[in-house]
């Protein structure tokens, strides 16, 4: 059949996430299984613009499931946001004879893929970001590893906070979304969790839980702050003022982006990389692989981008129950 | 209201799983929030028979989310399988004034809870087992930690197998179910995965994948065997005979049961412990908290016990694609 | 014999360090073995002043080798620096009948112990600090764990720096001493290491190594800065100006103080806790347990406090060789 | 000068150990710094016999400090033990123009190097083995990582043993030497440690400590057995017979050989790899790099091989004190 897929390009774009390498490997392996050639595009859409690529063979992707980062590098591309940039990218696709592109990243990546689709390139997106803030998918590659990394760091902080009877304020990733902060806060038994989705009554939501915990016998405290909430140093100062506690700030930062991926991220990435190639092979395009209700499905990219993801209100209620806080009405 | 819940017992029973402590803490904290007293029952149903219990207060359950094992101990109870044993347990419930019991464990635990329900004790089950083999729930507390532990051990094995160009045969937990073996095999990029649900054509499913990998440039190999498949030493010997590879067996064993729970297990356990108490508080009984389609719901225990859980066939197909094996018809 | 030791107090003071709990356990277990009673003094010398203590029995110290932090809490005591404070502490020793005190901490702790010795209390110090900056001992409890924690965090950072071809500037602990920074820099293959002991020629010691690495094919870079050197943000800005690299700062902070102690810290702490009690039992006082030339010995506290510890110049030379930098003359 | 070193070969031989890659990198980097070419010899002495080699450049050894295993592969060579084999190896050295060989491994590796020295090849040995059983050096590359890996596994086992009040028997590496078992036993607070260097009175050295611990309130027990002592299953059966405890065996096996090296192993390996090349560059041969009294020195290989390493009797005494056992006379 003339339209059969013979050669697929794979790229990672936007902020990197643990598991991207496993998705690359899975896409490549699925290609090999189907007799399709697989080409790695380096540095996101810049690689399409500049012809920065390498053929991926079995050995090149061997052992990748356990590797953090992305062997194809990732980048944001200003040039790709121009029509001239897109044209260059399309021309590279023609030159290399790429019948399809698998792009792993976030919403920005999907928008870029959609632009390529508009120019006749078959594309499939795979959600990869540690923030889990992609609306179409209940889970995104890298989230589990980032949560575990944050939790392991916070466990260590608990030890030294215990010794010195201090209050720890930990800033975790999440500019617009508090998914990670809430999850991590629940996991480490935080005394309070501050997220951008919920207004904070400082006295009621932070100081009172600290006081109740202290009166119940606890002598050290853990406050989790999503970075989008504002300065964690301000939070710490306000706690210190109100309670006289010795309060210390830790900004986890980029540590949360790295590390060997967890089992869950490796398996999810492998499944999604596989699904992306299977979709291209079956003639689909302009879609994104998603997890919904614990199943792997796919959405039209435009539809996916129009979705909204709210906070998990149940988890928020559970968190407030754990700290003895009645839910807001 | 005369029927209001005033005092709840919590117990862990059957094989322990990382996250059980987080579930105990969450159940206790939810009780405190609702003004209910919480009593820990030690050593599973034996604790109900023998009056082996302790009142849980805020301090006692503080810091538990990160602790592996179960502070309430776990055990199987032969005596509880007799009518006399159940009667003793019911009498202890009466003596202590327990209006409800939260039992964390597997199918055996749920059967025991149902027996108590038959005697008028309100009960709620919470699925906790590293095998993820409870039909009513897509996820069970401890599974994620066990998978990560196995994967971390296998990563280490990969290092030394690489150095010596050996073949590793790793036996992971799973007597009747291959969920963990399949998941772990996908996560670590195994060359073959043997599980009880699928018959093995040794030549086609194990030897040929090794040969194909070798011809593609790989010089060390990882074979994952669920313990229910049979002796991993036999598997190793057959590989050695067929390929002359230096083959080494590792039985991961009880290591998979321990360790600080992963973020996912802490959060799931916290949510389920919370839900169990909320169900009791709302007057429900004889039910088990479950996760289905990524949501927390609850089933009648008898209905839950009658369900069957099959292998995740999609994951099996993905695994076979990764190793270049066509799926069985 | 009238002078036999019958009751020993143990305290931890100053900044906490992983392994302090193992040292407490070892001191207590050695007491039990010798038929001596062991009393835990809480919150450092404050506990002696305020009578904040608890009798330690076998169960209380069971399982402590793996626990980070210090179960006896740690604190600095302003009051103890006054004669009135010391007198109160001495009186508590008399009241409790403490024939000796084991104090685990740094130079400040040893000075406090020496003050007690001046008042006739038998004392032995044990070096515990993650900075390894105690002159009398080549090794201090907690250093190995802190190094491993820093290295694990930096490994994670390497992953994401690789993906984005960035330069990472990591601030590690060490106000006056660069031991930890140098060790960690060697361990993670840093492109440059900045420590307070050595003046920095920024162009020659930081920028040139980055350039040489880039010309040799490396696309991401790791710069380790001891906190005593100055602002790591300044370092990052200067690198960015000189190289146009996307540069990111991570301050590891208190994470380095916590966590389950490494095997080395558990064993060293156990040995030193044991030695401290054995010294008291043999009638010694006013001494500190030290490691020198891989052996456990003890020094007079005053002599120990007068020693100076220089940088390990050999390691510095090795580090510079690794990055292709000729040693300073 | 005519005798200047221009090209050095590096090989790893015998059982692999975490840190070997860091030593390879350090040797290569030191060569580059001195303007010497560095050639990797693969698969130990077999690589010299078969001409299995690759030139190492900056990129090839970049990022190696954190990698477990050995990128040069390791093997034992039967052929090298024959005069014909040695001759082939010497001829390869001549063909490749190798002015010196750095060999990383154990006593067998050093014997092989000495044979090459007898044929006029300059050689330096570096001690790398997880057993720490090389007499000339107080420390060998890989030991610290292996100890930490064993301790982390045992910590996980403690969790599940606690839940079920069981006795764990753990077999750790060590055929002829109990260094690792004793160290690990001290680190994890074992109830008993069985090593080949000390005869065991089972009743007094195993059963009585278990009983004393039980009477002191402990309900789970950890017995560490060096593999050279005999079957850990026999040990478990005897414990079960004597105490009726539910006893479980875990054989840690090859897991102890892998994993990212610890900070200590990375630093030691880097220092030793550096020292080996510096010794060759200064005209030395037939020597082995050693650590003694916390300093890096070097010994004549023949002298090194004649040394004996005894058990650390102090640590043995500390271990027995911890479990309340009087030392043997």
Q: Min CA distance, B71 vs chain D (Å)? A: 7
Q: Is the per-residue pLDDT at D1 higher than 70?
A: no
pLDDT band at B199 (very low <50, low <70, confident <90, very high): very high
Q: How many CB pairs (< 8 A) connect A and B?
A: 150
pLDDT at res. B3: 64
* Residue C271: closest C-alpha in chain D: D318
* Residue C323: closest C-alpha in chain D: D29
SS (H, E, C) B170-183: EEECCCCCCHHHHH
Is B314–A296 a contact, with Cβ atoms under 8 angstroms apart? yes
pLDDT at res. C153: 98
B160 plus B217 within the same structural domain:
yes
Mutation for testing the D interface, residue in B164, B218, B233 having most D CBs under 10 Å: B164
Q: Is the per-residue pLDDT at D2 higher than 60?
A: no
Average pLDDT over chain A, rounded to an integer: 96
Could you tell me if residue C324 is inside a domain?
no
Q: Which partners does chain A have (≥3 C-beta pairs < 8 Å)? A: B, C
The residue from A257, A274, A294 where one domain ends is: A257
A135 plus A28 within the same structural domain:
yes
Q: Min CA distance, D72 vs chain C (Å)? A: 19
D135 plus D266 within the same structural domain:
yes
The residue from B200, B229, B257 where one domain ends is: B257
Find chain B residues with C-beta within 8 A of D219's C-beta.
73
pLDDT band at C188 (very low <50, low <70, confident <90, very high): very high
Instruction: Let me know: does A125 contact A109? Beta carbons within 8 Å.
Output: yes
* Residue D154: closest C-alpha in chain B: B255
Strand order in the sheet with B53-55: B53-55, B37-41, B7-12, B100-105, B122-127, B287-292, B295-300
Q: Which residues of A are known to be catalytic?
A: 131
* Residue A162: closest C-alpha in chain C: C69
Q: Is C67 an 8 Å CB contact of chain D?
A: no
Q: Which partners does chain C have (≥3 C-beta pairs < 8 Å)? A: A, D
Q: Is B42 an 8 Å CB contact of chain A?
A: no
Q: What is the CATH number of the domain that holds A241?
A: 3.40.50.460
Instruction: Let me know: does D14 contact D105? Beta carbons within 8 Å.
Output: yes
Q: Is the per-residue pLDDT at B269 higher than 60?
A: yes
Q: Is D140 an 8 Å CB contact of chain C?
A: no
A138 plus A11 within the same structural domain:
yes
A96 plus A29 within the same structural domain:
yes
Which of D25, D187, D314 is facing C263, going by the closest CB pair? D187
% chain D with pLDDT above 70: 98
Mutation for testing the B interface, residue in A68, A263, A313, A319 having most B CBs under 10 Å: A263
Q: Where are the beta strands (DSSP E) in chain A?
A: 7-12, 37-41, 53-55, 100-105, 122-127, 167-172, 192-194, 221-226, 247-251, 287-292, 295-300
pLDDT at res. C3: 64
Find chain D residues with C-beta within 8 A of C21's C-beta.
none
D101 plus D157 within the same structural domain:
no
Q: Would you tell me the crossing angle of helices C313-322 and D263-281 to the nearest 10 degrees?
A: 80
Q: Min CA distance, C100 vs chain D (Å)? A: 19
A270 plus A198 within the same structural domain:
no
pLDDT at res. A1: 40
B138 plus B26 within the same structural domain:
yes
Taking phi over 0 as left and psi of -120 to 50 as alpha, with beta for the rest, A96 belongs to alpha
CA C14 to CA C126: how far, in whole Å? 12
Residues in CB range of B21: below 8 A, 6 or more apart: B64, B65, B67, B68, B69, B70, B71, B261, B269
Which of D161, D249, D255 is facing B250, going by the closest CB pair? D255
pLDDT at res. B2: 45
* Residue D272: closest C-alpha in chain C: C318
Could you give phi then psi for residue C171, rounded to 5 degrees? -95, 120
Q: Give the residue from D328, B157, B124, B30 showing the smallest Cα distance to A321.
A: B30
Catalytic: D131? yes
Is C73–A165 a contact, with Cβ atoms under 8 angstroms apart? yes
Instruction: Let me know: does B301 contact B288? Beta carbons within 8 Å.
Output: yes
Q: What is the CATH number of the domain that holds D276?
A: 3.40.50.450
CA C206 to CA C169: how far, in whole Å? 11
Q: Give the residue from D3, D47, D1 showing the smallest Cα distance to D24.
A: D47
Name the active-site residue from D52, D131, D133, D265.
Answer: D131
Q: Is C12 an 8 Å CB contact of chain A?
A: yes
Q: Min CA distance, A70 vs chain C (Å)? A: 5
Could you tell me if residue C235 is inside a domain?
yes
Q: Is the per-residue pLDDT at B328 higher than 60?
A: no
Find chain C residues with C-beta within 8 A of D65's C-beta.
187-189
A137 plus A273 within the same structural domain:
yes
Is C263–D66 a contact, with Cβ atoms under 8 angstroms apart? no
Is B183–A25 a contact, with Cβ atoms under 8 angstroms apart? no
Instruction: Let me know: does A221 contact A245? Beta carbons within 8 Å.
Output: yes
Could you tell me if residue A323 is inside a domain?
no
What is the mean pLDDT of the segment spanning C261-282?
98
Q: What is the CA radius of gyration of chain B?
A: 22
Q: Is B131 an 8 Å CB contact of chain D?
A: no
Could you tell me if residue A1 is inside a domain?
no
pLDDT band at A325 (very low <50, low <70, confident <90, very high): confident
Could you tell me if residue D314 is inside a domain?
no
D199-211 confidence digits (pLDDT tens): 999 999 999 999 9
| Residue C266: both structure tokens together | 């558990």
B228 plus B82 within the same structural domain:
no
The residue from B221, B241, B257 where one domain ends is: B257
Could you tell me if residue D124 is inside a domain?
yes
pLDDT at res. D3: 64
Is D315–C274 a contact, with Cβ atoms under 8 angstroms apart? no
Q: Chain A 263-322, CB below 8 Å of chain B: which residues?
A: 263-264, 266-267, 270-271, 274, 292-296, 314-315, 318, 321-322
Burial class (CB in 10 A: 0-12, 13-18, 19+), B313: exposed
Is A315–B271 a contact, with Cβ atoms under 8 angstroms apart? yes
Q: Is C8 an 8 Å CB contact of chain A?
A: no
pLDDT band at D159 (very low <50, low <70, confident <90, very high): very high
Q: What is the CA radius of gyration of chain A?
A: 22
Which of D73, D219, D254 is facing B157, going by the closest CB pair? D254
Is D294–C296 a contact, with Cβ atoms under 8 angstroms apart? no
| Residue C273: both structure tokens together | 């806790």
pLDDT at res. B329: 46
Could you tell me if residue D299 is inside a domain?
yes
Number of domains in chain C: 2
A170 plus A243 within the same structural domain:
yes
Average pLDDT over chain B, rounded to an integer: 96
Average pLDDT over chain D, rounded to an integer: 96
What is the mean pLDDT of the segment spanning D305-327?
93
Q: Is D66 an 8 Å CB contact of chain B?
A: no
Q: Is A129 an 8 Å CB contact of chain C?
A: no
pLDDT at res. B327: 62
Name the active-site residue from B16, B99, B131, B312.
Answer: B131
Burial class (CB in 10 A: 0-12, 13-18, 19+), B294: middle
Average pLDDT over chain C, rounded to an integer: 96
Q: Chain D 198-257, CB below 8 Å of chain B: which residues?
A: 219, 248-251, 253-255, 257
Q: Would you tell me the crossing angle of helices C143-164 and A143-164 to the nearest 10 degrees?
A: 150
Q: Reduced to 3 DSSP states, what percent helix, strand and coil does chain C have, rounded to the nearest 5?
A: 45, 20, 35
Q: Which domain holds residue C113?
A: 7-142+261-306
C225 plus C299 within the same structural domain:
no
CA B81 to CA B63: how far, in whole Å? 34
Which of A12, A16, A159 is facing C69, going by the closest CB pair? A159
Which of C75, C159, C255 is facing A68, going by the closest CB pair? C159
Could you tell me if residue B70 is inside a domain?
yes
């Amino acid at each position: 059949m003339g339209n059969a897929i013979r050669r697929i390009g794979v790229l990672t774009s936007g902020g990197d996430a643990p598991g991207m390498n496993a998705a690359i490997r899975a896409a490549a392996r699925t290609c090999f299984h189907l007799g399709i050639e697989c080409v790695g595009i380096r540095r996101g859409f810049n690689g399409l613009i500049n012809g920065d690529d390498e053929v991926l063979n079995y050995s090149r992707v061997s052992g990748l499931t356990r590797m953090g980062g992305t062997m194809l590098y990732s980048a944001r591309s200003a040039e790709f946001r121009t029509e001239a940039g897109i044209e260059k990218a399309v021309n590279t696709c023609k030159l290399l004879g790429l019948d399809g592109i698998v792009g792993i990243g976030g919403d920005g990546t999907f928008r870029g893929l959609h632009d390529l689709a508009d120019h006749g390139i078959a594309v499939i997106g795979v959600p990869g970001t540690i923030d889990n803030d992609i609306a179409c998918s209940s889970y995104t590659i890298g989230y589990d590893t980032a949560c575990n990394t944050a939790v392991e760091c916070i466990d260590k902080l608990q030890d030294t906070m215990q010794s010195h009877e201090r209050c720890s304020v930990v800033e975790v990733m999440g500019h617009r979304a508090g998914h990670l902060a809430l999850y991590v806060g629940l996991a480490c038994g935080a005394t309070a969790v501050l997220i951008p989705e919920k207004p904070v009554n400082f006295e009621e939501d932070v100081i009172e839980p600290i006081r109740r915990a202290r009166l119940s016998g606890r002598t050290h405290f853990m406050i989790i702050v999503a970075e989008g909430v504002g300065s964690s140093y301000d939070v710490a100062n306000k706690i210190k003022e109100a309670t006289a506690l010795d309060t210390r700030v830790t900004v986890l930062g980029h540590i949360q982006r790295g590390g060997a991926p967890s089992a869950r991220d490796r398996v999810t990435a492998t499944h999604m990389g596989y699904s992306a190639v299977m979709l291209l092979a079956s003639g689909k395009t302009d879609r994104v692989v998603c997890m919904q209700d614990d199943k792997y499905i796919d959405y039209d990219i435009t539809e996916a981008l129009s979705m909204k993801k709210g906070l998990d209100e149940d988890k928020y209620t559970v968190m407030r129950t754990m700290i003895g806080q009645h839910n807001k009405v």
